[in-house]
A and B are shown apart, each in its own frame.
Chain A
Amino acid sequence: MNRSTIIKIDNLSYSYPDGTRALENISLEIFAGEKVGLIGPNGAGKSTLVLHLNGIISGNGNIRIGDLPVVKKNFKQIRQKVGLVFQNSDDQLFCPTVYDDVAFGPRNLGYSAGQVEKAVRRSLAAVDLAGLERRSSYHLSAGQKRRLAIATVLAMNAEILVLDEPTSSLDPRGRRQIIQLLAGMDKTLLVATHDLDLLRQLCRRAVVMSKGSLVADGAVEAIIANHDLLREHGLL
């Protein structure tokens, strides 16, 4: 069971409506329980790739999450399995209270009031924000907002967490808390980042993207040690 494929991307290409090529023939396989770093310079297509994983953007090519192809009729299940944590927490936390934000996903999944309540308590406790239910997300610190954003997908029982720049604009303590939180999770992680430190501490495998293509895939130590590669793609 250890090596079962959980994300499989085959020959994925995508162009923006204005014709700009954003992704070129991406193929990638990620196994259950892996923590994979997705690195690349700005504009490499990391965020675009991430948005394909639960069908928010659809390009040409095949993507499977577990046994399910990412097609419209499976969206509901896939969005439950794949939890997307966006780069800007203010975009992800759109409800008047912390409680409502965490409850949003479970309610969409059709949980009963009692189940919603349980899911919210469990997820807030998991990110160490228990007791803030009645607060407005606006009042939280940047680090708290980021952890709350993670709680909103934990509440849906996501098996795969996909995070876009989870440590951007956080202070060192906030950053450390996020890294510890993610390191302690027994879920599959795909983390898009520029933060090589985060990569070193959290992931064992790294995938490098540049100009819409995958240019490297291997052990984190090997990729970080390959200065020529990093310099060529603006990562060093």
Chain B
Amino acid sequence: MQADFIEKYAGLDSFLHRREPRAKIICALGLIIILLTTSPTAYFALSGYGLLLLAVMIASRVPLGYYLRRAGVILPFVIMVAIFIPFRRAAGTDDALDIMGITVSRQGLLIFWNVVIKALLAILILLVFSTTTSFARQLEGLAGLKVPAILVMVAGFAYRYLFVLVEEMLRMKRACDSRGYHGRWLGQVKTIGQIIGTLFLRSYQRAERIYQAMVARGYEGGVYPGAVERLKRADYLFMIASVGLFLTLRIIDR
């Protein structure tokens, strides 16, 4: 398992990579709010958002396929939730629409479109942010925006030990496999339970050792965030330009 997978392109250099993480977080949130308040029939504005995002994605020097693959992981969940909306209260009303013998509701179809297109654009906005910002920088950004330090710390731990845990689990799986485990018989379900139990115990012990290591270096419950950089002029320009463009589209096309 490669930790690189998450941060594969965070080390590139582009105008997006160079922006201060706080600027990017504020931007992403601002754009998502503007996006969510846009009417679903404002096709001009929506395609404008899409084109702007596409331009930013190309400028970030990250392969487009990478964004699409990652969006493709999340989007099926959105579709699964939204797929039934067009079928609600469809039959009998004048709202009904016949598509090849299947009756759907116009209103429902619009809601479906609304959910899917906005989810897709919002996911892409967040992907651009998270792909061009290393996790450590993201945490710095959150801390800089006064997110409670304890939350930032917990997120940091989760990130730091995620792969340690995955590796530990893979090692256990290999140990099982090399002793003839193949996980097909129902009786072997028990083994999976044992692996999970062992993983839990080991994580618990590790947490205890980590805490000792923290205490040994003077930890007394206080959290001292690192120094906060100043936002540069380019960061302000970036925020104003991107939020401004989205807002303009939003206002032109109601």
| B94 in the interface (beta carbon within 8 A) | no
Residues of A within 8 A of B164 (CB): 90, 138
Query: What secondary structure prevails in chain A residues at the interface with B?
Result: helix
Closest 8 pairs between A and B when the two form their complex, measured CB to CB: A108-B218, A107-B224, A105-B217, A96-B136, A91-B209, A84-B216, A113-B227, A97-B136
Instruction: Tell me which residues from 205 to 223 in chain B have a Cβ below 8 Å from any Cβ of chain A.
Output: 206, 209-210, 212-220, 222
Interface centre among B136, B206, B217, B219 (most CB of A within 10 A): B217
Collect the chain A residues with CB atoms within 8 Å of residue B79's CB: none
- Whether B157 sits at the interface, judged by CB under 8 Å, is yes
Interface residues of A in 77-110 (CB under 8 A from B): 79-80, 83-84, 86, 88, 90-97, 99-100, 103-105, 107-109
Is residue B67 within 8 Å, beta carbon to beta carbon, of the partner chain? no
Known interface pairs A136-B3, A138-B3, A138-B164; A153-B213 also in contact (CB < 8 Å): no
Most buried by A among B161, B214, B218: B218
Selected contact of B136 from candidates A80, A100, A103, CB within 8 Å: A100
Closest to B155 in A: A96
Measured between beta carbons, the chain A residues less than 8 angstroms from B222 are 108
Contact with B along A200-221 (1 / 0, CB 8 A): 0000000000000000000000
Report the Cα distance A100→B7, complex, angstroms: 18
Interface check A137, CB cutoff 8 A: yes
Q: Is A188 an interface residue (CB 8 A)?
A: no
Chain B positions within 8 Å of A94 at CB level: 157, 160-161, 210, 213-214
B162 to A, closest residue via Cβ: A138
Within 8 Å of chain B (Cβ to Cβ): is A56?
A: yes
